[in-house]
Chains A and B, each alone.
Chain A
Amino acid sequence: MIDFRLKKAGREPTTDFTGRRRVLVAFMMFCMVALVARAVYLQAIHECDPKFENAYQHIDVVPIMASRGMIKDRNGAPLAVSTPVHSIIINAREVKKDDDARIKQMEKDYRKHKKEELHLDKAMKLTEAEKLQIYAEYQKEKAYKVQQIERLLDLPIGKVSALLDVEKPRQFAYLARRIDPAIGEQIRGLKLAGIFIEPEYKRFYPAKEVAAHLLGFTDAKDVGQEGVEAGYEKVLQGISGSKRVIRDGQGHVVAVTDTKEAVKGKDIELSIDGRIQYLAYRELERAVNEHKAKSGVLVILDAKTGELLAATNQPSFNPNTKAKSNYRNRAINDVFEPGSTVKPFVVAAGLDSGYVKPNDMFVTNGAYSIGRRTVKDVHNYGTMDLTKVIKKSSNIAVSQMALRMPPKYFRGVYHNLGFGESAASGFPGEAEGSLIDHRRLNDFARATLSFGYGVSSSALQLARAYTALADDGILHSVSLLKRDEDIDAKRVFSAKTAKSVRAMMEQVVTKDGTAYEARVDGYTVAGKTGTVKKSGGRGGYIAKKYFSVFAGIAPAKDPRLVMVVMIDEPSAGQYYGGLVSAPVFSKVMSGALRILDVAPDQIDTMPILLTQQFQ
């Protein structure tokens, strides 16, 4: 095939091969045109290959958490705040990837170091022993970091190592949730690849147990679950934003595009006064413990605006840890029969309608028959005027008054006072209570209704009804939020009636009244006790199980506060409202009036008190 002989010379050399040159140039230019064609195809005629979309692995959408609005008390003190916290996430696959890269880097550094140390011209290859040594060193360093993380996060030893198990790498696991950012930063400082720090917000309740039931709490996703947190979720909740980030090949964010800022939730200012709330919490807790009661509630309303100044429950829980699960706000969500605490309303209704005259006298002898049923008093009080009826809490006398009034009117007064319908405070799951239907309202039912059976209400509802007596006949709406005035108030009694009933109620806290313990030195107090037999279901009542209730107003002359204290099943002996609940009222009320700078209106009892209180 190949001709190895030397060919005879004789052809013209130069001109023959211009054709070849042209072919070669044409071929090279063709190659360049091919490049151009390819470039146009790649860049102008954009290929919509979904695979290419996947290759844009460096574009990522990162959510921006919105912080939740703060809940403050009426003085601006924080009751619930969102604080930034860190969650620690571990991604074992990333760790594995990084291991290789770091070992390589260490080997490189080692070679460089060795080269300099031995003054070699070029770096030496590493021996197997050296490689193993570097590997061991790396593992040691990593083990130290892992140990540090376990120590910082208080994790059991071996937990992180287990998650890092290369055999079954898990993409994603939480090492810790919602921890102190300071610890998070320490962990970030360890620079262990595959450990990610996710900023989050945690709800923190500085008042802890004190306002737990009122505020409620949020779940892991920062959504309100109970209390004000749930009731005002729409307001408090922020709108989380997002940002598109571009990452480089090592996962670092190099650019941020399309940021949608997070919108912070709105703050709300509750009507609660943190100082009064704390006082109420403390005294109620003490009383519940002292009387070995099952539970207790306490509600304080502003007599002029209907604002809720304090609402507390016993036993409570810590919303920061949620260790116990007694989350129910009994003060607002649970009902009881108000018992004798409604008697002032009966008197007021009678006076207002003229069925009862201010000078009327009521004749009793300890028992009063209505049909085949009998109403009894604790003692035989004999003949009483209105003041003594309230002072001694006579069932018979109020029954007599009730029977004078037409059933519809009589029930209507209760209805007007808000019994049987919710107080509309906006608190989630608010109780409506119940009020006996007027068709079932026979004489005996009317009589029992007059001393607080056949009707049920929450402590909040009862306190609200008392505002009608406190604010000279005007019933206020209830507000959980701070406000200057109540635009939803309505008149239930005449001012004159309310004033005279309050005057009668002042006698309750006198030495021979039912609740001398409720007195507040320096201030006039109007109140009414209630010792209610607990209902055992269908019609029957359980012996020796009581609700001890005290509802009161202070100062009685120019009321500022309305308070209801209810202690459920006191079982340390005493159970009368005047002995169990009234002392709580006294302590909380005297503190609250002082906190609110209310001027004392009962000079004769004041000086002694001042020295006693400031011990």
Chain B
Amino acid sequence: MNRRNRALAAGAFHFDSMLVTVCVCLLLIGYVMVTSSSLHLDSKASVAASALNVWGYPIKQLVHIALGLVMARYIAMIPMRNWQKIAPWLFIAGLLLLVVVLFFGVNVNGSTRWLSLGGIRIQVSELVKFAAVVYMARYVNLHQQSIRESAFGLLKPLLLFSVASVLLLLEPDFGSAVVILIIAMGMMFLAGARMRQFALLLAVVAVLAGLLVYLEPYRMKRVTSFMNPWADPRDTGFQLIQALVAFGRGELWGVGLGGGLQKLFYLPEAHTDFLFSVIAEELGLLGVLAVISLFALLVCRAFTIAVAAEKAGEQFSAFVAYGLGIWFGFQAFVNMGVNMGLLPTKGLTLPLMSYGGGSMMIMCCAVALLFRVHTEVTEINASTLPEPRFKAKAKVA
């Protein structure tokens, strides 16, 4: 085992070509679209637009991706056992950062969600989501029995998650709070929580979330404007209508890369939360279907890896993979759903695609973690199921 981990640490990965291909595709499409939808931003802001100004956002995003890939390279070298060990500390660190951000965070559009580190903004909630997955996987691995048999087992981890949620709501970041709760609930569902208790818990969380929406006027406004954006097309319904117009303009084949108009001040946050609308306008239904398919593939791949890990007896790794799959899937679904007017507006990024330093790096790390699970599982299978190719390799090692 030790020797195996050393070998893996040295970089002898079992390459998951499908996972890597899907992620590279998402990164590429995302980067091109971020470039397309941000080129006009700086040039309008400053009177004398130099070439560097125009490329400000694309260059920064390139740095984000590069940093993300470097981090991913190191994350992939950390054995899953170590993750399990540090999981509680990771989660607590995440909570601490959530507290820190409340005091020292950068305020953008009324939310304090970002920590500024050397010019790169890190969205703490992204880190917390990552920690939540790892922590929950550890909990499920260690306490599966109690989850299946008692309500305590179900509620205990949720206590920590509620603390995280409250901190997130203070930012406020309602979307991220929902995401980590969904991750936790989904993982407990898969771990075998009893149906009736689970349903009740789900109901309670849903009611609480509903209350939060109801009590906060701006969230309520978002919901009502989502129901009927035409009630106030110039103010609250503006974003959604402009996003829908972007889809309508795109039609089958799109207006062409760079030819989109909605991004030019009609779509607020075109390069972040509403990147998908820009894709829809410029690349059309074709691009939209490609992106949806890629995310579906990513989710399927995560689940396939998880199943393989479960079969190999790696319960922790399996649940990390499940958690990541749920995270990717849910966040991508919410973001795309918001863009298409299926869901009320939420400030969630499109994984691996949207502009943003923290989000991009954490997502790269998350994919690296999934990659690590796959590598370890393949290695285990190779050493337990005698297959000539791997056996030979193992001997050499």
Q: Are chains A and B native binding partners rather than an unrelated pairing?
A: yes
Residue from B150, B285, B300 within 8 A of A6 (CB atoms): B150
> Is A539 part of the contact surface with B, judged by Cβ < 8 Å?
no
How many Å lie between the Cα of A39 and that of B333 in the bound state? 13
A34 & B342 in contact (Cβ 8 Å cutoff): yes
Q: Which of A49-57, A153-161, A213-221, A493-501 contacts B (4 or more CB under 8 A)?
A: A49-57
A selection of 13 A-B contacts at a CB cut-off of 8 Å is A7-B148, A11-B148, A16-B192, A20-B190, A21-B322, A28-B299, A32-B299, A36-B292, A39-B340, A40-B285, A55-B233, A121-B116, A248-B266
Q: How many residues of B contact A (CB 8 A)?
A: 63
- Give the bracket for the number of chain A residues in contact with chain B: 35 or more
Chain B nearest CB from A14 CB (Å) reads 6
Interface string of B187-219 (1 = CB under 8 A from A): 001111010110010000000000000000000
> Is B230 part of the contact surface with A, judged by Cβ < 8 Å?
yes
Residue from B106, B244, B285, B296 within 8 A of A32 (CB atoms): B296
B234-274: which residues lie under 8 A (CB-CB) from chain A? Answer: 241-242, 244-245, 247-248, 250-252, 261, 264-266
Least CB separation from A34: chain B residue: B342
Residue from A17, A32, A44 within 8 A of B190 (CB atoms): A17
A43 & B190 in contact (Cβ 8 Å cutoff): no
How many Å lie between the Cα of A123 and that of B289 in the bound state? 42
Residue from B186, B200, B280, B292 within 8 A of A24 (CB atoms): B186
Q: Which 3 A-B pairs have the closest CB atoms?
A: A249-B265, A7-B149, A248-B264
> Is B284 part of the contact surface with A, judged by Cβ < 8 Å?
yes
Instruction: Please indicate the chain A residues that have their CB under 8 angstroms from the CB of B250 in the complex.
Output: 43
A46 & B248 in contact (Cβ 8 Å cutoff): yes
B331-373: which residues lie under 8 A (CB-CB) from chain A? Answer: 333, 336-337, 340-342
Q: Contacts A21-B190, A38-B337, A248-B261 given; 17 further ones with Cβ under 8 A? A: A3-B194, A3-B197, A7-B149, A24-B186, A28-B325, A29-B299, A34-B337, A39-B285, A43-B247, A43-B250, A44-B251, A52-B245, A55-B241, A55-B244, A58-B266, A248-B264, A248-B265
A36-91: which residues lie under 8 A (CB-CB) from chain B? Answer: 36, 38-40, 42-44, 46-47, 51-52, 54-56, 58
How many Å lie between the Cα of A17 and that of B264 in the bound state? 49
Chain B nearest CB from A377 CB (Å) reads 88
Residue from B233, B248, B289 within 8 A of A47 (CB atoms): B248
B144 & A254 in contact (Cβ 8 Å cutoff): no
Provided the pairs A24-B190, A25-B303, A44-B251 are in contact, do residues A39 and B289 lie with their beta carbons within 8 angstroms? Answer: yes
Instruction: Please indicate the chain B residues that have their CB under 8 angstroms from the CB of A324 in the complex.
Output: none
Least CB separation from B330: chain A residue: A28
Residue from A2, A7, A34, A55 within 8 A of B200 (CB atoms): A2
Least CB separation from A254: chain B residue: B264
Instruction: Please indicate the chain A residues that have their CB under 8 angstroms from the CB of B197 in the complex.
Output: 2-3
> Is B122 part of the contact surface with A, judged by Cβ < 8 Å?
no
Chain B nearest CB from A516 CB (Å) reads 77
> Is A610 part of the contact surface with B, judged by Cβ < 8 Å?
no
B106 & A39 in contact (Cβ 8 Å cutoff): no
Interface string of B282-296 (1 = CB under 8 A from A): 001100110010011
Interface string of A2-18 (1 = CB under 8 A from B): 11111101010110110
A29 & B296 in contact (Cβ 8 Å cutoff): yes
Chain B nearest CB from A322 CB (Å) reads 43
